[in-house]
Amino acid sequence: MLEIEAKFKITDEKAILRALKRIGARFKGRVEEKDIYYKAPTCCKKASAVRLRSAGKRNIFTVKRIPKKTFSRNFKIRDEFETDIENKKAFQEILKILKFNPAFRKEKRRLLYEWRRLKISVDKLPFIGVYLEIEGDRKRIRKAAKALGLDKKNAITSTYMELFDRYKKLNKKPGLELVFRRKKSRG
Protein backbone atom coordinates (compact mmCIF):
# COMPACT_ATOMS: atom_id res chain seq x y z
CA MET A 1 0.00 0.00 0.00
CA LEU A 2 1.29 3.46 -0.85
CA GLU A 3 1.71 5.81 2.11
CA ILE A 4 1.60 9.52 1.25
CA GLU A 5 2.02 12.05 4.03
CA ALA A 6 3.00 15.62 4.77
CA LYS A 7 4.65 16.54 8.04
CA PHE A 8 4.84 20.00 9.63
CA LYS A 9 6.80 21.26 12.65
CA ILE A 10 4.33 22.76 15.12
CA THR A 11 5.44 25.59 17.39
CA ASP A 12 2.04 26.18 19.03
CA GLU A 13 0.34 22.89 19.90
CA LYS A 14 -2.76 24.54 21.39
CA ALA A 15 -3.29 26.61 18.23
CA ILE A 16 -3.15 23.53 15.95
CA LEU A 17 -5.57 21.67 18.24
CA ARG A 18 -7.98 24.63 18.00
CA ALA A 19 -7.57 24.65 14.21
CA LEU A 20 -8.38 20.92 14.03
CA LYS A 21 -11.52 21.54 16.07
CA ARG A 22 -12.45 24.55 13.90
CA ILE A 23 -12.33 22.55 10.65
CA GLY A 24 -14.38 19.73 12.20
CA ALA A 25 -11.69 17.05 12.45
CA ARG A 26 -12.95 14.11 14.53
CA PHE A 27 -10.80 13.16 17.52
CA LYS A 28 -10.20 9.39 17.41
CA GLY A 29 -8.05 8.93 20.49
CA ARG A 30 -4.59 9.16 21.93
CA VAL A 31 -1.89 6.55 22.00
CA GLU A 32 1.71 6.21 23.10
CA GLU A 33 3.73 4.42 20.46
CA LYS A 34 6.97 2.60 21.20
CA ASP A 35 8.94 1.60 18.13
CA ILE A 36 11.97 -0.58 17.60
CA TYR A 37 13.63 -0.11 14.22
CA TYR A 38 15.74 -2.96 12.92
CA LYS A 39 18.84 -3.04 10.79
CA ALA A 40 18.07 -5.41 7.94
CA PRO A 41 20.58 -8.13 6.99
CA THR A 42 22.33 -7.76 3.64
CA CYS A 43 19.70 -9.84 1.85
CA CYS A 44 16.98 -7.26 2.60
CA LYS A 45 18.54 -3.87 1.81
CA LYS A 46 15.57 -2.68 -0.29
CA ALA A 47 13.60 -2.02 2.90
CA SER A 48 14.00 1.61 3.99
CA ALA A 49 12.46 0.87 7.41
CA VAL A 50 11.74 -2.29 9.35
CA ARG A 51 9.78 -1.54 12.51
CA LEU A 52 8.01 -3.28 15.36
CA ARG A 53 5.53 -0.92 17.05
CA SER A 54 3.68 -1.27 20.33
CA ALA A 55 0.64 1.01 20.44
CA GLY A 56 -1.76 0.39 23.28
CA LYS A 57 -2.53 -3.34 23.20
CA ARG A 58 -1.49 -3.73 19.55
CA ASN A 59 1.86 -4.84 18.15
CA ILE A 60 2.35 -3.95 14.49
CA PHE A 61 5.17 -5.07 12.22
CA THR A 62 5.89 -2.66 9.36
CA VAL A 63 8.22 -2.70 6.38
CA LYS A 64 8.58 0.46 4.29
CA ARG A 65 10.47 1.01 1.08
CA ILE A 66 10.95 3.92 -1.28
CA PRO A 67 8.96 3.39 -4.50
CA LYS A 68 10.92 3.42 -7.75
CA LYS A 69 9.23 6.30 -9.60
CA THR A 70 7.94 8.60 -6.92
CA PHE A 71 9.49 11.90 -5.92
CA SER A 72 7.93 14.87 -4.20
CA ARG A 73 9.26 17.96 -2.50
CA ASN A 74 6.32 18.31 -0.12
CA PHE A 75 5.27 14.71 0.53
CA LYS A 76 6.96 11.69 2.01
CA ILE A 77 5.96 8.71 -0.12
CA ARG A 78 6.66 5.08 0.78
CA ASP A 79 5.37 1.62 0.01
CA GLU A 80 4.14 0.42 3.39
CA PHE A 81 3.28 -3.12 4.45
CA GLU A 82 1.88 -3.79 7.93
CA THR A 83 0.57 -6.73 9.90
CA ASP A 84 -0.56 -7.25 13.48
CA ILE A 85 1.66 -9.43 15.65
CA GLU A 86 -0.02 -11.52 18.33
CA ASN A 87 3.08 -12.60 20.28
CA LYS A 88 5.64 -9.77 20.41
CA LYS A 89 8.36 -11.70 22.29
CA ALA A 90 8.20 -14.67 19.90
CA PHE A 91 8.28 -12.33 16.91
CA GLN A 92 11.34 -10.53 18.30
CA GLU A 93 13.07 -13.92 18.55
CA ILE A 94 12.13 -14.67 14.93
CA LEU A 95 13.66 -11.35 13.85
CA LYS A 96 16.80 -12.16 15.83
CA ILE A 97 17.12 -15.59 14.15
CA LEU A 98 16.68 -13.91 10.75
CA LYS A 99 19.54 -11.50 11.65
CA PHE A 100 17.40 -8.36 12.00
CA ASN A 101 19.17 -6.48 14.78
CA PRO A 102 17.58 -3.67 16.84
CA ALA A 103 19.15 -0.40 15.72
CA PHE A 104 17.03 2.41 17.13
CA ARG A 105 14.20 3.05 19.59
CA LYS A 106 11.61 5.79 19.20
CA GLU A 107 8.68 6.85 21.37
CA LYS A 108 5.96 9.34 20.59
CA ARG A 109 2.68 10.47 22.08
CA ARG A 110 0.11 10.76 19.33
CA LEU A 111 -3.31 12.42 19.13
CA LEU A 112 -5.34 10.87 16.30
CA TYR A 113 -7.87 12.70 14.12
CA GLU A 114 -9.83 12.05 10.94
CA TRP A 115 -11.00 14.64 8.45
CA ARG A 116 -12.37 14.07 4.95
CA ARG A 117 -10.82 10.61 4.54
CA LEU A 118 -7.47 11.78 5.88
CA LYS A 119 -5.60 10.55 8.93
CA ILE A 120 -4.20 13.46 10.90
CA SER A 121 -1.95 13.06 13.91
CA VAL A 122 -0.35 15.47 16.33
CA ASP A 123 2.88 13.82 17.47
CA LYS A 124 4.88 14.81 20.54
CA LEU A 125 8.42 13.43 20.54
CA PRO A 126 11.19 13.78 23.11
CA PHE A 127 13.92 16.31 22.28
CA ILE A 128 12.58 17.31 18.81
CA GLY A 129 9.12 18.64 19.67
CA VAL A 130 5.63 18.54 18.19
CA TYR A 131 4.72 17.67 14.59
CA LEU A 132 1.53 17.33 12.59
CA GLU A 133 1.25 14.53 10.05
CA ILE A 134 -1.47 14.39 7.41
CA GLU A 135 -1.83 11.08 5.56
CA GLY A 136 -3.98 10.39 2.49
CA ASP A 137 -4.01 11.49 -1.13
CA ARG A 138 -2.04 14.57 -2.20
CA LYS A 139 -4.99 16.76 -3.17
CA ARG A 140 -6.78 16.20 0.15
CA ILE A 141 -3.53 16.72 2.09
CA ARG A 142 -3.03 20.11 0.38
CA LYS A 143 -6.62 21.12 1.24
CA ALA A 144 -6.22 20.05 4.87
CA ALA A 145 -2.92 21.92 5.23
CA LYS A 146 -4.51 25.06 3.80
CA ALA A 147 -7.59 24.72 6.05
CA LEU A 148 -5.27 24.41 9.07
CA GLY A 149 -3.29 27.50 8.04
CA LEU A 150 -0.15 25.55 7.12
CA ASP A 151 1.98 26.47 4.11
CA LYS A 152 2.79 23.43 1.95
CA LYS A 153 6.25 24.94 1.39
CA ASN A 154 6.97 24.22 5.06
CA ALA A 155 6.22 20.51 4.75
CA ILE A 156 9.03 18.26 5.97
CA THR A 157 9.93 15.05 4.16
CA SER A 158 12.54 13.97 6.71
CA THR A 159 11.74 11.03 8.96
CA TYR A 160 11.69 11.49 12.73
CA MET A 161 14.96 9.53 12.84
CA GLU A 162 16.58 11.99 10.41
CA LEU A 163 15.31 14.97 12.42
CA PHE A 164 16.62 13.37 15.61
CA ASP A 165 20.02 12.63 14.02
CA ARG A 166 20.32 16.37 13.22
CA TYR A 167 19.37 17.21 16.81
CA LYS A 168 22.03 14.83 18.17
CA LYS A 169 24.74 16.28 15.91
CA LEU A 170 23.82 19.85 16.80
CA ASN A 171 23.78 19.07 20.53
CA LYS A 172 26.75 16.67 20.47
CA LYS A 173 24.78 13.79 22.01
CA PRO A 174 25.54 10.79 19.79
CA GLY A 175 24.35 8.03 22.14
CA LEU A 176 20.93 9.53 22.84
CA GLU A 177 17.75 7.60 21.94
CA LEU A 178 14.42 9.12 20.94
CA VAL A 179 12.61 8.01 24.10
CA PHE A 180 10.91 9.89 26.90
CA ARG A 181 12.89 10.19 30.11
CA ARG A 182 11.55 8.03 32.89
CA LYS A 183 11.19 9.49 36.35
CA LYS A 184 13.50 7.73 38.75
CA SER A 185 11.68 6.13 41.64
CA ARG A 186 12.98 6.76 45.11
CA GLY A 187 13.51 3.75 47.19
In this prediction, residue 41 carries a pLDDT of 80
Provide the CA 7 distance to its chain's centre, in angstroms.
Answer: 9
Taking residue 120's Cβ as centre, other Cβ atoms within 10 Å add up to: 26
Q: 184 pLDDT band (50/70/90 cuts)?
A: low
Residue 27: which of 109, 107, 120 has the closest Cα?
120
In this prediction, residue 48 carries a pLDDT of 79
**Angstrom distances, CA of residue 142 to CA of 29, 74, 75, 139, 157:** 24, 10, 10, 5, 14
- Mean pLDDT across 129-147: 97
Model pLDDT for residues 63-111, shown as the tens digit of each residue = 998 887 766 778 888 899 999 999 999 999 999 999 999 999 999 999 9
Alpha-carbon distance of 120 to 23, in angstroms, equals: 12
Q: In terms of DSSP bridges, do strands 118-125 and 49-55 run parallel, antiparallel, or are they unpaired?
A: unpaired
Model pLDDT for residues 13-64, shown as the tens digit of each residue = 999 999 999 999 999 999 999 999 998 887 666 667 899 999 999 999 999 9
Counted residue by residue, the chain has a size of: 187
Which domains are seen in the chain, by residue range? Answer: 2-171 (2.40.320.10)
149 or 39, higher pLDDT: 149
**Contact of 123 with 64, CB cutoff 8 Å:** no
Q: What are phi and psi of 45, to 5 degrees?
A: -75, -10
13-23 helix and 138-147 helix, angle to the nearest 10 degrees: 110
**Contact of 6 with 155, CB cutoff 8 Å:** yes
